[in-house]
Amino acid sequence: MIAIVDYGVGNLFSLQASLKYLGFEAKVTGDKNDLKAADRLILPGVGAFEDAMAKLKATGLVDTIIDETSNGKYLLGICLGMQLLFEKSYEYGEHEGLGLVEGDVVSIEDDLSPTAKGKLKVPHIGWNALTLTETGDDLGRDPLFKYTKNGDCVYFVHSFYGVNCEKSTIATTEYDVTVTAAVRNGTVYGTQFHPEKSGKIGLDILKAFTELK
Partner 1 sequence: MITKRIIPCLDVRDGKVVKGTNFKGVRDVADPVEMAKFYNDSGADELVFYDITASIEERKIFSEILTSVASQIFIPLTVGGGINTLDDFDRVLKCGADKVSVNSGAIKDPTIIERAAKKYGDQCVVLSTDISLVDGKYHLFTAGGQKDTGIDAIQWIIDGVDHGAGELVVNSIDTDGVKGGFDLDMLDLIASKVNVPIIASGGAGCMEDFAELFKHEGIDAGLAASIFHFKEVDIRELKQYLRDQGVNMRI
Phi-psi region for residue 186, left (φ > 0), alpha (ψ -120 to 50) or beta?
left
Site track for partner 1 across 56-95, x = CB under 8 A: ----------------------------------------
Residue with Cβ nearer partner 1 (64 or 198): 198
Min separation Cβ 150 and partner 1, Å: 14
Q: Should residue 123 be labelled a site residue for partner 1 when binding is judged by CB under 8 A? A: yes
3-state secondary structure 88-111: EECCCCCEECCCCCCCEEEEHHHH
Q: Does 14 bind partner 1 (CB under 8 A)?
A: yes
DSSP state of 184: E
Distance CA 66, CA 51 (A): 19
Binding footprint of partner 1 on the chain (CB under 8 A):
11, 13-14, 17-18, 20-21, 46-47, 118-119, 121, 123-129, 153, 155-157, 174-175, 196-199, 202-203
Residues noted as catalytic: 79, 194, 196
